[in-house]
Amino acid sequence: MTMSFANGLAALRPRIDAPVAAFLSSCVRCGLCAEACLFHTETGDPKYAPIMKLEPLRRLWSQEFTVMGRLGRALGLSKPMSDEDFARWEELVYDSCTLCGRCSLACPVGNDLTLMIRKLREGMVAAGHSPEGLRKAAHRALTDISPVGVGAQSARKLIAAQSREVGIPIEIDKHGADWLVLISSMEYIAFPEMLGALARLFKAAGQTWTIASDAYEATNVGVQIGSCDVARAIVARTVDAAHRLGVKGVVTPECGHAYQALRWEGPNLMGQAFDFEVIHLIDLLDRWRAEGRLKTKGKSGLRLTYHDPCQTSRRGGLDPQARRLLNLVAEDFVETSDPGPWNWCCGGGGGVSANPRARDLRFKVFAAKKRQLEAVRPDAVVTTCSNCRNVLEESLEHWGMELPVLSLTELVAEYLDEVPS
Amino acid sequence: MSDSPGLATLLRHHGIGRRDFLTFCAGLASALALPPVLAPKLAHALEAARRPSVIWLSFQECTGCTESLTRADQPSLEQIILSMVSLDYHHTLQAASGAAAEAARRQAMADNHGRYLVMADGSIPLGDPGYCTIGGMSSADLLAQTVAGAAAVIAVGSCAAFGGLAAAEPNPTGAVPISRLVTGKPVVNIPGCPPLPLAMTGVIAHFLAFGRLPELDSLGRPRVFYGETIHDRCPRRAFYDQGLFAKSFDDEGARQGWCLFQLGCKGPTTRNACATVKWNGGTSFPIGSGHPCLGCSQPSFWDAGGFYRPLSRPAGLGPGMAAAAVAAGAALGAVAASKRPSERQPVTLDDLETKS
Amino acid sequence: MSLLLWAKGPGFALAAVLFLLGTAMRLAEILRLGRGTDLARPRGAAGGQALRTVFSRFLPAPGLFARSPVVHAGGYVFHIGLLVVVIGYGPHLAVLGIGGRGLPAGLIDGVTLLTMAAMTALLAARLRDPVKRLISGPGDYGAWGLVFLPLATGFLLVNRVLLPFEPLLALHLLSVEVMLALLPFTKLVHAFTFVLARGYAGAIAGRKGAHS
């Protein structure tokens, strides 16, 4: 057992860099981060103020990396940190933060609080204070590839079934394909039609793709629980597969954290730049649209709105891409309030949806999204993250709302102009 | 105290008529903030007063204070003051010299023990007595010997009152004000470089007429002359309030007679009556002539941060000191924030096994 | 030595040394930690967005003004008011060695009162709002005092209230010196570090082509 308080501090220390110090030096305790956080706005509980969630990180930084903090500690003026601090903060750091990044965008002094929560989780997990649900998921991801237990055989069967459904072959481990495509956990277990949609889209675009038998899963629980060790092991699989199959690039699916994990954390976790491109599916589809590779016919007559996934829109900048694609196939597209960078989270990101303990809280804070949707009264809500999609469906059901949740990729595939054979 | 005729007789002897004397008394009553009805009483009291013996001691000084006093205006104030008192010893003014002068001093002290006034100008060199000796005596000894039998001591000028120029940094003589060395006797400070003649005569007249010294402030100055600041009564005050300042001695503001605060005027922190009494027979005073007040009647005015530097502007920091502070701070911060080796154990599968 | 002379001489020097030393120290603490090289291929320009974010965060976040009107309105009035008073008042310009006549005294008086009113509202909000009360410590209330005192003594000085000119000028200078000396060691240091914080946030998001 390597988890201990000391190990937690040891894992957290190297995460403290110049940006963290600049952020923590600049905080004026204005409290505006709380007003941007759905966990505070929907519960009214002051403990959910994002800056409060960072207290263990702030104290470690202050006590060990500042002149005054070190002086204060030497003089016994500040309370030394203890395991108890980590234990008490576990709920705040995991259950009540989806890493949605809204507070980071709202902070008047520019503090990226979300980045700091992500860093703090490194210390929390190393100290042994991470939620059981996430630990189980991480364990499964390391032993069975899929954090939700979709084994290689099951995946293969699901892929074959979808291939038959759309009448287009989906080749596994195809060497020399243009793209290695990752599929998210939720798509295997809840939205397998995504596989068929992908087959049709890639065929229409005239690009070859494949799924790797040993890296068929996009979800990176390591990034969610906040362990660079787990995250690296998961990224390594994809990197190895990309090299083994000699693909030009890797496509991350409709999933926010998977994109952040592979595209942005991936090379840094591996310690070297990738020699292949990593692109989010929506970014790729929009590129094809711009290149004229995506020909659609007709449009949906439904009144559609878009749920911006935090990691692709706010923290990914892919909100214009999504809207361009949506306008390709939607006749009556209506924006909710706070669209794009200022979207409200579904409540289940950042590992919260994999943390059963946080379920009631997640449903409660969905009220923010609910209000937005009720204000525009759409026929369906479209999104580009399978985790959002699943959380939206669950939460809408919880609140007794009848509202279909659609995948943008599937929607675009639906309106593809005659797939050439 | 000489058994000499009254002041009125002496004045007439000096060619000063009663009319002039009454005019002087009215002005003096006003300056002493006495009700106008008291002016005749003041005149009467002064006329009837017996002239006290005055011993004037000069230490580290420039004789400017004596100049100020003897160049006084009004109906020959010089004569009035010299008529009011029996000036028995004064380096500059007395005819006697050497041993005869010192003998006169000792005679006056013996004759008027407990009743004579000591007026002193200049500071006392405590650090090195050799800087100022009189008749072979150190300044401090001369002072101590002379004030022993005095009724009161009047420290004339900023040097006597506060140390003045000699006490300015680095104070090579170890100069101290008169009040530092006098105990058990009332000391009146009449600071100024030089002080207003009226302030000197006023204090003496008050002593003569009422037998006691006027009310003093915490620095031993008579409140009637030092109760207000130059700024309080400054004719340019309105410009200060409007924010209209001369920025140089030759700009439009200076020509328009705007406030001299930013040219270093010490009016706001200087307590004196120059703005109302004025100088040279009420002709003008420095600010009236376009020059900022130097604050010459304030303690340590030589070291008050520069005559032409605005009152509110701090002295500043040398570039060397500033650079040293920045370098020290940067080094301190860099050391505190330097990364130290921190052994981390990676998270293992075992760690992820469910535990309570 | 009078209080005023002390404030203008040794007091100012001490404050200036502490201010320079502390500010250099705090900036060194930050910069010394450095940043690892980001190995991910950029998708946007970090530098441009860093610069943009330094300025864009002066604007309120959408929807937040309505949720927190006192913090926003009070914050703007206080910060702008402070700036106007510090660099708009004639005698301040003279002290700072900048030319110019400065703004009319009446305007400065009004802005000072407005600034103090805004600060009072912000303090009240801090004491009343559960979030702000929870996240506030002695340092937050202390920093409030450090900024409020120079404003208050300055107002009294200009209007010659309570005390004569000299002690008020001394108190005003001293209050400014105490604020300067402690600025680097309190949250007031954000006056410098906010540029770094916003810049880093902008650079991190800019590299991803994300929002900041």
| CATH code for the domain in which residue B268 is found | 4.10.480.10
Report if residue A165 sits inside a domain: yes
* The predicted structure's pLDDT at residue B180: 95
Q: Are residues B106 and B211 in the same domain?
A: yes
In this structure, the number of other CB atoms found within 10 A of the CB of residue B283 comes to 10
C-chain residues near B329 (CB < 8 A): 20-26, 28, 184
* pLDDT tens digit sequence for C107-127: 999 999 999 999 999 999 999
Report if residue C130 sits inside a domain: yes
Interface of A with C in 17-56 (CB under 8 A): 17-23, 25-32, 34-36, 40-41, 46-47, 49, 51-52
Tokens, residue A211: 């799924």
Q: Are residues B174 and B247 in the same domain?
A: no
Closest approach of C97 to chain A, Cα-based (Å): 29
Scanning A212-308, the segments in alpha helix (DSSP H) are 221-225, 228-245, 256-259, 266-270, 281-291
Is B45 in contact with B209 (CB distance < 8 Å)?
yes
Report if residue A54 sits inside a domain: yes
For residue A333, the enclosing domain spans 290-414
Report if residue B332 sits inside a domain: no
Closest approach of A282 to chain C, Cα-based (Å): 14
Report if residue A357 sits inside a domain: yes
Tell me which residue of A208, A191, A218 sits closest to A280, measured CA to CA: A218
CA A253/CA A409 separation, integer angstroms: 9
Is B54 in contact with B85 (CB distance < 8 Å)?
yes
pLDDT at residue C35 is higher than 90? yes
Closest approach of C71 to chain B, Cα-based (Å): 32
pLDDT at residue A351 is higher than 80? yes
> For a pLDDT cut of 90, what percent of chain A falls above it?
95
Q: Are residues A148 and A279 in the same domain?
A: yes
Angle between the N-to-C axes of helices A281-291 and A319-329, in degrees from 0 to 180, rounded to the nearest 10: 60
Query: How big is the CA angle at B194 (ends B192 and B195), to the nearest 5 degrees?
Result: 55
* pLDDT tens digit sequence for A112-124: 999 999 999 999 9
CATH of residue B51's domain is: 3.40.50.700
Inter-chain contact C189–A25, Cβ cutoff 8 Å?
A: yes
Report if residue B207 sits inside a domain: yes
Q: Are residues B35 and B158 in the same domain?
A: yes
Report if residue B217 sits inside a domain: yes
Report if residue C33 sits inside a domain: no
Neighbours of chain C (3+ CB pairs under 8 A): A, B
Q: Are residues A208 and A184 in the same domain?
A: yes
A-chain residues near C146 (CB < 8 A): none
* The predicted structure's pLDDT at residue B5: 62
Answer whether C156 touches A (CB < 8 Å): no
Report if residue B308 sits inside a domain: no
Report if residue A362 sits inside a domain: yes
Inter-chain contact A7–B345, Cβ cutoff 8 Å?
A: yes
Q: Are residues B263 and B216 in the same domain?
A: no
For residue B292, the enclosing domain spans 231-303
Adjacent-strand bridge partners of A179: A209, A249
Number of domains present in the structure of chain C = 1
In this structure, the number of other CB atoms found within 10 A of the CB of residue B332 comes to 18
Q: Is the bond preceding residue B170 a cis peptide, omega within 30 degrees?
A: yes
Which of A273, A288, A303 terminates a domain? The answer is: A288
Number of domains present in the structure of chain B = 2
Q: Are residues B147 and B14 in the same domain?
A: yes
Report if residue B320 sits inside a domain: no
Report if residue C39 sits inside a domain: no
Inter-chain contact A110–C189, Cβ cutoff 8 Å?
A: no
> For a pLDDT cut of 70, what percent of chain B falls above it?
94
Inter-chain contact C164–B330, Cβ cutoff 8 Å?
A: no
CA B343/CA B339 separation, integer angstroms: 12
Q: Are residues A152 and A88 in the same domain?
A: no
Which of A288, A316, A347 terminates a domain? The answer is: A288
Phi then psi for B71, rounded to 5 degrees? -90, 15
CA A203/CA A168 separation, integer angstroms: 8
Closest approach of C18 to chain B, Cα-based (Å): 7
pLDDT at residue A220 is higher than 70? yes
Q: Are residues A262 and A325 in the same domain?
A: no
Number of domains present in the structure of chain A = 3
Inter-chain contact A2–B342, Cβ cutoff 8 Å?
A: no
Answer whether A273 touches C (CB < 8 Å): yes
Q: Which among B242, B269, B338 is the nearest to C4, CB-wise?
A: B269
Report if residue B329 sits inside a domain: no
* The predicted structure's pLDDT at residue B304: 81
CATH of residue A39's domain is: 1.10.1060
* The predicted structure's pLDDT at residue B183: 92
Report if residue C38 sits inside a domain: no
Mutate to test the interface with A, among B332, B343, B347 (most CBs of A within 10 A): B347
CA A31/CA A49 separation, integer angstroms: 7
Query: How big is the CA angle at A20 (ends A139 and B328), to the nearest 5 degrees?
Result: 140
Q: Are residues A123 and A137 in the same domain?
A: no
Which of A235, A258, A288 terminates a domain? The answer is: A288
* The predicted structure's pLDDT at residue B1: 41
Residues of chain B with pLDDT under 50: 1-3, 75, 356
ipTM exceeding cut-off 0.90 for this assembly = yes
Report if residue B245 sits inside a domain: yes
Report if residue A421 sits inside a domain: no
* The predicted structure's pLDDT at residue B76: 53
CA A364/CA A42 separation, integer angstroms: 7
Q: Are residues A192 and A329 in the same domain?
A: no
Neighbours of chain A (3+ CB pairs under 8 A): B, C
Tokens, residue A359: 């379920």
CATH of residue A390's domain is: 3.40.50
CATH of residue C172's domain is: 1.20.950.20
Q: Are residues A56 and A142 in the same domain?
A: no
Q: Mean pLDDT throughout A164-190?
A: 96
